[in-house]
Chains A and B, each alone.
Chain A
Amino acid sequence: MQISGITAIKIEMNEPVIALHHLSKSFGNVHAVQDLSLTIEVGTIFGFLGPNGAGKTTTIRMLCGLTHPTGGHATIQGADIWQERQKVRTRFGYVPQSFSLYRDLTVLENFRFFGGAYGVPGAELEGRIERLLSVIDLQEKRSATAENLSGGMRQLLSIGCALVHDPTLLFLDEPTRGLDPVHRQQIWNLLYDLSHEGKTIFVTTHYMDEAERCTEVGFIENGRLLAKASPRALKETFSARLLEIDVEPLMPALVRLRELPELLGVSLRSGSLRLYAPEAEQLLARWREDWPFPDLRLLGERWVEPDMEDVFTAYSQGYDGVLKRSRP
């Protein structure tokens, strides 16, 4: 008895919060999400990365039970996201991409409405709202209508309202889109705090620096999952060494280098060029002997660590030559 009890707890601990099994969604001939399988463990900050139209929002909306999968299935804490959506709803909070609270209602009224809508008992609600107001730092603005808040404050309010029923899981669809760095930082700090409390965070973004802050990252493009791992593990899939060079004049160099068959791609970073080449060492050795561009001046070169943007570029552009990977 003792043992089976422990086993049960252990299974529960290891059971993923979210599990997607071949989840697909098509709108007619458009395959927004294709055969998406992944699991997310408790306490993870999962960053879902991909260009616009990759299927991030559709995935989140399926997980929230707002649209039904056309193939496969998914569970949140073991409950089916579509069949049992009424049951699942109290377990997560959802912050959609565009501000979707009531603009003509005040901060407090929005909180009270969503509290009531989620069935938070009245006695508990006021205390919880106070706590959330201090978490999102909007105590002073409690009587302001949502319409009159700044973009960052609105986003904080959206997150606050999504937390009013104390869910264990939070979906955020591009929560920092269009925000200034101060508010972005504030929102990420908030997400860390929530994660620290044991909440699981599922966040989409296309800011690569934000991907670095996640404990796990999934790349999605054209509705397909390209990779899923921790940011460190993803960077380690970058097999080739990454060469960064300083050239003058810069823009003609960018154009010329892009045409080189030895290079998979070139990206411009703070005045230097990063070269994605499978055999960068040989290339550099050759260049040192014979620089092929008489009209361009090579000022310097160095080896750099790939960052998330490099990894994402490589994955999304299909630069298989610089990646050690097997497609998931």
Chain B
Amino acid sequence: MRWLSFEATASVAYKEFLHIYRDRRVLLLVLLLPPLFTLLFGHAFETSELTGVPSLLVDRDNTPRSQDFIDIISKNKTFRWRRGSPDMKDESNLLGHGVRAALVIPAGWNESLENGDPKPLLLYLDSGDINTADAVEGSVRQSLGDFQLKQRDQMIEQLPEEVFELGKQLPVQIRKRFVSMMEMWSVDRKLLYNPKSRVIDFVVPGIIGMILQLLTVTLMACTIARERESGTLYQLMVTSLRRREIVIGKMLPYLVVSAVLVVVIMLVSGWHFGVAFHQLPALALVCLLFLLCSLGLGLLISAFSRTQTQAIQFSVFFLLPVFVLSGAFAPLEQLPTAVRYISELFPLTHFCRAFRLVNMYDAGLQFYVADLVLLLAGALITFIGAVFLLRRIEQ
């Protein structure tokens, strides 16, 4: 007896393909969802900048200087300003005003600046969402910095001639140091690997991985559970099909469908978002191993659950932490070390890392070979596990 009969495996694969083809709703889902998700997520993550945060501005100083500052901060795209009356008392009620931040210029601000004892501006922040609060504060600081620089330049321009005369009497060394101190110190940044700093390039593997994982795991998880539910599993078991033929045959059509989806998503993100793809053979290998691993997981869930409902529930429970912890949309480095170990258990983590290394970093094999090996190991473990669990069904 051969290890695997081609005809037997092919008949399982063809039957499974017919199931997909006949189930119009699933077919529609499979064909429409990936490009749609790619567009949606692609645009959602197109830029990381925060814009148009609704904010309240209260000017209690009401001087030409405060007006100057308001002109500058009004140009800052982070905010969508609403002016509050100077007499209002409830500016800290952000929720009531329907804003995420409130900036108050205190009365006597101009005067305090003139008197050499600058009063601070007051900023109320909605820190329910920490990212927004930090970004808004940074933005306010930046505008304030710009304003201060402008004020300083104006002040230097208006300095009386005597001051310059006096300055010229200082030793050269001290004058140079003084100039350095007055300059803004700067960083000259050179962006590598993703020079345009495009979030979409970072997120594309996340999108591909998430969609593939979602579809493969849930669809695959339903296959054996569905046969069990409809009683066809026993009919399948009394045939001379071997478990490996059932498992491989069931997987093949989903592998083909998923491979097509990878191409579709890559085409959409290439054309619409201008994402470039490098080292196509290596990418194909990364995708293939990841698909095998996901399909294996689906099979494992499938062999494990009694009904399709259970299979879906198990899939969702498995997929939820994966999406959050796999580094698909945000760098893994944000996570604490202990949690990062858990992340390493998810195939999506390794897929995203390997995909980025290949595509964004154009890296050599030695950088991502570990991820490939782990994906392969995952695929093997899940497949053997599924075959083993199917054996238990017989008993």
CB within 8 Å of A: which B1-52 residues: 5, 7-8, 10-12, 14-15, 18-19, 22-23
Residue of B239, B240, B394 near A67 (CB, 8 A) is B394
With known contacts A90-B240, A114-B239, A117-B236, A67–B231 Cβ distance under 8 A: no
The answer for the CA separation of A122 and B5 in the assembled complex, in Å, is 13
Answer whether residue A48 sits at the interface, using C-beta atoms and an 8 A cutoff: no
> Do residues A109 and B18 form an inter-chain contact, with CB atoms below 8 A?
yes
> Do residues A94 and B238 form an inter-chain contact, with CB atoms below 8 A?
yes
Complex contacts, A94 vs chain B, CB 8 Å: 234-235, 238
Complex contacts, A98 vs chain B, CB 8 Å: 231
Give 19 CB contacts A-B under 8 Å.
A66-B237, A66-B238, A66-B394, A67-B395, A68-B395, A92-B238, A100-B231, A100-B232, A104-B22, A104-B23, A105-B15, A109-B18, A112-B11, A113-B12, A113-B14, A116-B14, A117-B236, A118-B239, A119-B5
Size category of the binding interface on chain B: 20 to 34
Answer whether residue B260 sits at the interface, using C-beta atoms and an 8 A cutoff: no
With known contacts A96-B231, A100-B231, A105-B18, A117–B237 Cβ distance under 8 A: no
Answer whether residue A291 sits at the interface, using C-beta atoms and an 8 A cutoff: no
Answer whether residue A101 sits at the interface, using C-beta atoms and an 8 A cutoff: yes
Instruction: Name which residue of chain A comes closest to B7, CB basis.
Output: A116
Answer whether residue B230 sits at the interface, using C-beta atoms and an 8 A cutoff: yes
Residue of A68, A100, A109, A145 near B15 (CB, 8 A) is A109
B: residues with CB less than 8 A from A are 5, 7-8, 10-12, 14-15, 18-19, 22-23, 230-232, 234-242, 394-395
The answer for the CA separation of A113 and B16 in the assembled complex, in Å, is 10
The answer for the CA separation of A276 and B26 in the assembled complex, in Å, is 61
The answer for the CA separation of A255 and B242 in the assembled complex, in Å, is 57
Answer whether residue A64 sits at the interface, using C-beta atoms and an 8 A cutoff: yes
Answer whether residue A306 sits at the interface, using C-beta atoms and an 8 A cutoff: no
Answer whether residue A89 sits at the interface, using C-beta atoms and an 8 A cutoff: yes
With known contacts A66-B237, A100-B235, A109-B18, A119–B394 Cβ distance under 8 A: no
> Using a Cβ cutoff of 8 Å, how many contacts connect chains A and B?
82
With known contacts A96-B231, A122-B7, A117–B19 Cβ distance under 8 A: no
Complex contacts, B22 vs chain A, CB 8 Å: 104-105, 145
Complex contacts, B240 vs chain A, CB 8 Å: 86, 89-90, 117-119, 165
Residue of A89, A103, A104, A119 near B238 (CB, 8 A) is A89
> Do residues B19 and A104 form an inter-chain contact, with CB atoms below 8 A?
yes
> Do residues A113 and B237 form an inter-chain contact, with CB atoms below 8 A?
no
Answer whether residue A102 sits at the interface, using C-beta atoms and an 8 A cutoff: yes
The answer for the CA separation of A64 and B237 in the assembled complex, in Å, is 9
Residue of A65, A89, A104, A115 near B18 (CB, 8 A) is A104
> Do residues B8 and A119 form an inter-chain contact, with CB atoms below 8 A?
yes
Residue of A86, A92, A105 near B242 (CB, 8 A) is A86
CB within 8 Å of B: which A99-144 residues: 99-105, 109, 112-119, 122
Complex contacts, B238 vs chain A, CB 8 Å: 64-66, 89, 92, 94
Complex contacts, A67 vs chain B, CB 8 Å: 394-395
Instruction: Name which residue of chain A comes closest to B232, CB basis.
Output: A100
> Do residues B394 and A117 form an inter-chain contact, with CB atoms below 8 A?
no
Known: A94-B238, A103-B230. 16 other contacts (CB 8 A): A64-B234, A66-B234, A66-B237, A66-B394, A86-B242, A90-B240, A98-B231, A99-B231, A102-B15, A102-B19, A104-B18, A104-B19, A116-B10, A116-B11, A117-B239, A118-B240
A: residues with CB less than 8 A from B are 61, 64-68, 86, 89-90, 92, 94, 96, 98-105, 109, 112-119, 122, 145, 165
> Do residues A117 and B12 form an inter-chain contact, with CB atoms below 8 A?
yes
Q: How far is the CB of B258 from chain A (nearest CB, A)?
A: 21
User: In the complex, which of the residues B11, B22, B232, B241 has the most CB atoms of chain A within 10 Å of its own CB atom?
Assistant: B11
> Do residues B8 and A116 form an inter-chain contact, with CB atoms below 8 A?
yes
The answer for the CA separation of A92 and B238 in the assembled complex, in Å, is 9
> Do residues A102 and B11 form an inter-chain contact, with CB atoms below 8 A?
no
> Do residues B12 and A101 form an inter-chain contact, with CB atoms below 8 A?
no
With known contacts A102-B15, A109-B15, A122-B7, A117–B232 Cβ distance under 8 A: no
Instruction: Name which residue of chain B comes closest to A117, CB basis.
Output: B239
The answer for the CA separation of A68 and B395 in the assembled complex, in Å, is 6
> Do residues B235 and A101 form an inter-chain contact, with CB atoms below 8 A?
yes
Complex contacts, B14 vs chain A, CB 8 Å: 113, 116
Residue of B5, B11, B18, B235 near A96 (CB, 8 A) is B235
The answer for the CA separation of A61 and B238 in the assembled complex, in Å, is 10
Complex contacts, A105 vs chain B, CB 8 Å: 15, 18-19, 22
The answer for the CA separation of A90 and B239 in the assembled complex, in Å, is 7
The answer for the CA separation of A94 and B25 in the assembled complex, in Å, is 32
Complex contacts, A86 vs chain B, CB 8 Å: 240, 242
The answer for the CA separation of A118 and B238 in the assembled complex, in Å, is 9
The answer for the CA separation of A86 and B12 in the assembled complex, in Å, is 18
The answer for the CA separation of A78 and B108 in the assembled complex, in Å, is 105
The answer for the CA separation of A118 and B242 in the assembled complex, in Å, is 10
Instruction: Name which residue of chain B comes closest to A89, CB basis.
Output: B240
The answer for the CA separation of A102 and B236 in the assembled complex, in Å, is 10
Instruction: Name which residue of chain B comes closest to A120, CB basis.
Output: B7
Instruction: Name which residue of chain A comes closest to B231, CB basis.
Output: A100
Complex contacts, B5 vs chain A, CB 8 Å: 119
Complex contacts, B241 vs chain A, CB 8 Å: 117
